[in-house]
Amino acid sequence: MHSAPEPNANADSLAAENAALLEEVRLLRQQQGDIAKHQDAYAQSQARFRTVFENSPLGQKIIDPDLCIRQVNQAVVDMLGYTSPEDLLGRKILEFTHPDHRADWRELQQRLWAHKLPHFALETCLIRKDGSSFWCQITSVLFPDEGAELGYTILEDISERKKLETSLKRVYDAQETILQLATHDLKSPIAHIQLLTDLLQREVASRSGQGPPPPEMVHYLTLIHTACAHATTLLEDVLYIGDLDEHGLQKTPTDLPAFVTTRLAVHQLAARAAGVTLALDLPAEGLHARLHPEKFSRVLDNLLGNALKFTPAGGTVTLRVAAHNGKVRFTVQDTGIGIPGKLHNHLFDKFNPTRRAGLQGETTTGLGLFIAKQIVELHGGDIWLESREQAGSSFFIELP
């Protein structure tokens, strides 16, 4: 015979089950409350996004991978000359793209969705409803949405900026043309003055039987000759800057030891006259690089010429070429007077305001190092210096 369960045991079991049910109800209510809070937060976030999206002064739209407009704000509608967003929804952005710029959107489409880039920017031309066109800066960001990837796109009308750029380019081109013409035209009269000065100097020198010429005459003729030479150098430098064009820089494989040996020989006469030793340090094995020989010669000639100007008699100027970390490094090192640290930051500036006369009074146009830097950069390289007063200078060039 079985005994009946005790009343207390039944009561305890029912109480435990009731407590468990109550806790489950509490957790469900808490979850419902959390869901409601998340829904409220999401709704608020959506409201904030819509407020920003619809009221932004910049055009904003959302496009799908087919470049179809999913959502658009009034700013885009106004840009394109329509009345309401409904006029644009469901239409492809290519419908509003200038025929010459449809490739821009194809590139955006390829970069974002095919290459999975996080964002992409471009400048392109769009067509308004009335057929007129305008320039637009486009920035697109890829984002996930319900299992798909959409492009959030910002549009900014940059027509005024483009108009200003075009205007400034016309002014610049006109000024450059005038400068080039003036420079060409000035070379001829300066050359005539220099020729006449040479003739006068010869005439003075030929009158040996008539006594020595007045010292002031010799002095003035020398000043005129020097001024003409300086003006000619300046004009040639200005013309050279106008000729610096990356597209015209035809580089060829160059045997560097043979190339630098030839460049050093050009300066041997000036070095002997200044009492300076010219040294060449070449690698044991051959070394090649792709150069524009004529233009890169200008770089080495400038650096070697400067080194000779600022190195006292008895000093040494060394041209070194070596492979360095997968690149080619040129070094022009001298034992000259060095360059004060305060001048380093401006040495490569155009018309360098810190330019100095050489030890023998040699003048400079202030364009040599600027031109050298432009040529090195057109070759994809870098140029820099290390120098201390009375401790010499070293100029380095690295080419890929």
CA distance 171 to 177: 10
Would you state the pLDDT for residue 129?
Answer: 92
Dihedral sign of CA atoms 370, 374, 379, 383 in order: positive
Question: What was the pLDDT predicted at 90?
Answer: 93
Percent pLDDT > 70 in the chain is: 77
Give 7's pLDDT tier (boundaries 50, 70, 90).
low
pLDDT at residue 86, as a whole number: 93
**Whether residue 259 has pLDDT greater than 90:** yes
Q: What is the pLDDT of residue 230?
A: 65
Whether the per-residue pLDDT at 354 is higher than 70: the answer is: no
187 has a pLDDT exceeding 80: no
The rounded mean pLDDT for the chain is 80
Rounded to the nearest angstrom, the gap between the alpha carbon of residue 352 and the centroid of all alpha carbons in its chain is: 21
Mean pLDDT of 356-362: 56
State the burial class of residue 180 (Cβ atoms within 10 Å of its Cβ: 0-12, 13-18, 19+). Answer: middle
Task: Give the tokens for residue 250.
Answer: 């035809």
- CA distances to 201, 316, 318, 354, 394 from 340, rounded to whole Å, are 39, 20, 21, 10, 13
SS3 352: coil
Give tens-digit pLDDT for 282-309.
Answer: 988 889 899 988 889 888 988 998 899 8
Instruction: Output the pLDDT for position 302.
Output: 87
Q: For the segment 207-237, what is each residue's pLDDT rounded down to a tens digit?
A: 656 666 677 777 777 777 777 776 766 666 6
CATH of domain 247-399: 3.30.565.10
Those residues with Cβ within 8 angstroms of residue 373's Cβ, 6 or more apart along the chain or in another chain: 348, 383
Give the pLDDT of residue 193. Answer: 76
* Gap between the Cα atoms of 228 and 194, Å rounded: 6
> For position 28, what pLDDT does the model report?
77
Average pLDDT for 99-106: 88
pTM: 0.48
The pLDDT of residue 125: 92
> What distance lies between CA 122 and its chain's CA centroid?
17
- Name the CATH topology of 54-157: Beta-Lactamase (3.30.450)
Write out pLDDT tens, residues 140-175: 988 888 788 899 999 999 988 888 887 777 766 666
Q: What is the CA radius of gyration of the chain?
A: 38
Confidence band of 134 (pLDDT split at 50, 70, 90): very high
pLDDT, tens digit (0-9, with 9 covering 90-100), for 30-57 = 777 666 666 666 556 656 757 667 778 8
**Residue ranges of the domains in the chain?**
54-157, 171-242, 247-399
Give the pLDDT score at 281.
Answer: 92
In what helix (H) or strand (E) does residue 229 lie, and over which residues does it extend?
helix 215-242
**Quick one: pLDDT at residue 158?**
92
Torsion of CA 203, 205, 210, 215, to 10 degrees: 100
